[in-house]
Structure 1
Amino acid sequence: MSVSVRRIYEPPEPDDGLRVLVDRLWPRGLAKEAAHVDEWPKGLTPSTGLRQWYHAGEGSYDEFRRRYEAELDAPEAAELLDGLRKSAREGHVTLLTASKNPDGSHAHVLAELLGG
């Protein structure tokens, strides 16, 4: 499987493959045409409550990861995750996030779950 994580504010690269925005909210100050997003599966993003809890600094990354993985077990999210796994088996998938620290974000959790 071929999966990578990049900030959406970085310019697209020819080897990005399928570009998937994995944030619930559209990134500030970025025109949709400039983002070159192929898919935006909002059902794969952390819930608003979980996102706000984590960004408020109320818990550790490990606890965030545990809660997020539990959310990904829900039927809609699990189906979307399976679809991304299929895409990653067929070609490269780039998960896009506006997070300033992609390695400490939900995008990194998704990449690991996808085998990236």
Structure 2
Amino acid sequence: MSDENTTNTRLRPAGKRQITGAEQGRTDRVASSRATDDADARGSRGPVAYVSSVGREMKKVIWPTGREMVSSVIITVIFLVIMVALCASVDFLTHEGVEFIFGF
């Protein structure tokens, strides 16, 4: 039973805004960091503030693993091949139908 729990926790992300080494249930540091971020966003404007806020947001992103990327690419390519085949077959059948009806 413990092996199943450790496997599930390894596959799931821990959270975007989790503070490393923080105790469970403590939110005072998280709340103060959010307040600072909000104050920075309201107080300073310009390209420097924009670039720094983009950097902060990029650190919060949970990036996919290599295996997830490969599976997503394979699924996307398979879907595209199916859709192209579907569109091509509808186009071909429409062309044949118009030729049959109008004799072009």
Q: Normalized against structure 1, the TM-score is what?
A: 0.25
* Structure showing greater relative contact order (alpha-carbon pairs closer than 8 Å, 6 or more residues apart): 1
Which structure's CA Rg is the greater one? 2
The structure whose residues are more often helix, as a share, is 2
The structure whose residues are more often strand, as a share, is 1
